[in-house]
Amino acid sequence: MALRLTEQPSLYDNLEKKSVAELLHDINQEDQKVALAIQKVLPDIEKLVSAIEAHVREGGRLFYLGCGTGGKLAVLDTLEIPNTYGVSPEMVQCVLAGGVENLVQDIEEAEDWLDEGWETLEKKHHVTPKDIVVGISASGTTPYVLASLKACREHGIPTGSFVNNPDSPISQYSDYPVEILTGPEFITGSTRMKSGTSQKMLCDMISTTLMCRLGRVEGNRMVCAHLINNKVVDRLTRTLMDRNGIADYALVEAEIKACGGLKEAEDSLRRKGFIK
């Protein structure tokens, strides 16, 4: 049986004998290949994101499903979306092998659990065909992800996936598969490196594109962010000032704090005659 692409020997050897400069240079050389690998499958990514958008617009939810590096990166993405874009945390969620609540425990054996993924989707989240489930797996063979996507298909739940090997079993059970071929890892089999980088990049691309399409970004600004700290308050204050030609920082800051957000403050200032 041929080795999967992600398990093939590194293009580099004798790493323990290399200098710091040599190691950093070689890792950087490999990292540069990731964006180019993603570029080659942009049409497949477009199909996946378009399907996600269609389901979300109809009231459905996006569920990432994974374990290891990919699953953990998806959890981080789902945690950041509500505050950054002012949407419900129900819109984009992650089902992580071993449970999101155990994120820092790194339960590696959970990737072999065949039933947990579907049981979590069905019993905890009450997944329906309105939703879409996207599996993440560098190998493309992770039992947890594969079994869950099979169960989704049996129950009429739309599926997507992104993996780092060609012609993977997981892709076969995905309605919208994406195969990002990043090649052998710098350290043989260490898919937390290039494969993980591609997974982080794809999560960013999916969530950012989705939020832009849903109108949570205007121009190039986050206009729906929650007021979670002083940095965000300052950013929204300056955004509102720039958008409406207002020079009074204190006025705008106070209005944003009082109203709880940029859009609300903008409406309030318009009613008060500060914005035409």
Location of structure tokens 């950012």? 208
CATH 3.40.50.10490 residue spans of the chain = 5-213
Annotation marks residue 90 as catalytic = no
* CA angle (199 as vertex; 87, 58 as ends), nearest 5: 35
Confirm if 33 and 194 have CB atoms less than 8 A apart: yes
Distance CA 91, CA 53 (A): 11
**Using H for helix, E for strand and C for coil, what is the string for 163-205?**
ECCCCCHHHHCCCEEEECCCCCCCCCCCCCCHHHHHHHHHHHH
**pLDDT tens column, 55-108:** 999 999 999 999 989 999 999 999 999 999 999 999 999 999 888 877 766 666
**What average pLDDT does range 103-129 have in this prediction?**
83
Residue 111 has pLDDT above 90, yes or no: no
Distance CA 165, CA 139 (A): 6
**What average pLDDT does range 181-208 have in this prediction?**
97
Distance CA 147, CA 142 (A): 9
Q: Copy the structure tokens of residue 30.
A: 């490999």
Annotation marks residue 111 as catalytic = yes
The DSSP symbol for 124 reads: I
pLDDT category at 3 given cuts 50, 70, 90 is: confident
Catalytic residue among 53, 80, 119, 122: 80
Residue 231 has pLDDT above 80, yes or no: yes
Residue 268 has pLDDT above 60, yes or no: yes
Residues 6+ apart with CB under 8 A from 144: 66, 67, 97, 110, 111, 112, 113, 114, 116, 117
Distance CA 257, CA 67 (A): 39
- Model pLDDT, residue 113: 72
pLDDT category at 1 given cuts 50, 70, 90 is: low
Catalytic residue among 30, 111, 179, 255: 111
Distance CA 114, CA 240 (A): 50
**What average pLDDT does range 248-275 have in this prediction?**
97
**What average pLDDT does range 217-241 have in this prediction?**
97
- Model pLDDT, residue 98: 85
Residue 2 has pLDDT above 70, yes or no: no
Rounded CA Rg of the chain: 22
- Model pLDDT, residue 228: 95
CATH superfamily for 5-213 is Glucose-6-phosphate isomerase like protein; domain 1 (3.40.50.10490)
The chain-wide mean pLDDT, for the chain, equals 95
